[in-house]
Amino acid sequence: MNQRWEEGRPRWRSDRETINPSEYDIEEMPGKDRRAMEFVETHHYSRSYPSGRFSFALRRHGRLVGVAVFSHPTNNLTLTKSFPCDALEAVELGRLVLLDEVPGNGESWFVARCFKGLSSHHIRGVVSFSDPMPRRAADGTVLTPGHRGCVYQSLNAVYTGRGTARTLRMFSDGTVLNDRTIQKIRKQERGWEGAVRTLQAYGAGDLDRPPAEWVRAWVPQLTRAVPHRGNHKYLWAIDRRLRESLPRSMPYPKEIDAAV
């Protein structure tokens, strides 16, 4: 089964279904296109949009039914340690969202055509991650079932194993407090006031002390520490010459982690 997201809830479609290409069109859009942002923020479980460089729309009879966003990660090393090329010659598949109505093999069909579009912009490599750890809210509700990257495997990605193990800070509703959010507040970087409001929405008090002290005091009160073994990492070389430099794929993962 292929996992989907619609209005933030997980759905499933059989991988034996076949898309009818004559019913669909693919449109390239700016990386921060408003239509793409609204679609992703409405349907993806994270309710967030990455730092997009390129985005592609999947339309069925003219109606938007899917979006793929290729982004630039926070750290250039995510790209340059994966591919022997400049950071601007590679991207991360940051979001992939298709509505439930698209047949089961729609993701792989769509992404393969997005890769062709990226090659026209001289993009040589794509990296993506799948998070295999299910998330539960404090009341036991399953928020994200975890995924091992079935779509990436069907696209013959090179699997390189798990990323760096880390500890997540998780709110009672299962939402993860991003390390970057904490760093923004601590260093008063751009957008830190909005990050403060995020914590206040979960019960943090007034900003009555230096931001670094404030966030250090409230994070342990509002979140619990959850160990994470690391996301699964997948690579594609769009450029044929780059493909020769990639390592041999490790065996694809077949199981998800235990729920937390």
Are 159 and 249 in contact by the 8 Å Cβ rule? The answer is: yes
Q: In one letter, which amino acid is 71?
A: S
Check pLDDT > 70 for residue 182. yes
Look at residue 121 in the predicted model and tell me its pLDDT: 96
Nearest alpha-carbon partner for 155 in 130, 132, 134: 130
CA dihedral of 64, 70, 72, 75, whole degrees rounded to 10: 120
Helix (H) or strand (E) holding 9: strand 9-13
Q: pLDDT of 22-74, one tens digit each?
A: 999 999 998 788 888 999 888 887 778 888 899 999 999 999 999 999 999 98
Look at residue 84 in the predicted model and tell me its pLDDT: 94
Cα angle vertex 223, ends 255, 181, to 5°? Answer: 90
Look at residue 123 in the predicted model and tell me its pLDDT: 97
Predicted TM-score of the model (pTM): 0.85
Q: pLDDT of 226-240, one tens digit each?
A: 899 999 999 999 998
Are 58 and 67 in contact by the 8 Å Cβ rule? The answer is: yes
Nearest alpha-carbon partner for 115 in 73, 77, 152: 152
More confident residue, 13 or 121: 121
Beta bridge partners of 176: 170
Look at residue 223 in the predicted model and tell me its pLDDT: 95
Nearest alpha-carbon partner for 44 in 71, 25, 17: 71
Domain boundaries along the sequence of the chain: 2-164+230-243, 167-226
Look at residue 49 in the predicted model and tell me its pLDDT: 83
Nearest alpha-carbon partner for 55 in 109, 101, 110: 110
Q: pLDDT of 210-226, one tens digit each?
A: 999 999 999 999 999 98
- First-to-last alpha carbon distance for the chain, in angstroms, is 22
Check pLDDT > 70 for residue 12. no
Look at residue 259 in the predicted model and tell me its pLDDT: 72
Check pLDDT > 90 for residue 172. no
Residue with tokens 């059989």: 14
Across the range 245-251, mean pLDDT stands at 95
Across the range 183-196, mean pLDDT stands at 93
Look at residue 1 in the predicted model and tell me its pLDDT: 60
CB contact set of 50 (below 8 Å; sequence gap of 6+): 69, 71, 92, 94, 95
Across the range 72-91, mean pLDDT stands at 94
Q: pLDDT of 117-153, one tens digit each?
A: 999 999 999 999 999 988 777 777 777 778 889 899 9
Which CATH number among 3.40.720.10, 3.40.630.30, 3.40.50.920, 3.90.79.10 corresponds to the domain 2-164+230-243? 3.40.630.30
Check pLDDT > 70 for residue 7. no
Check pLDDT > 80 for residue 98. yes
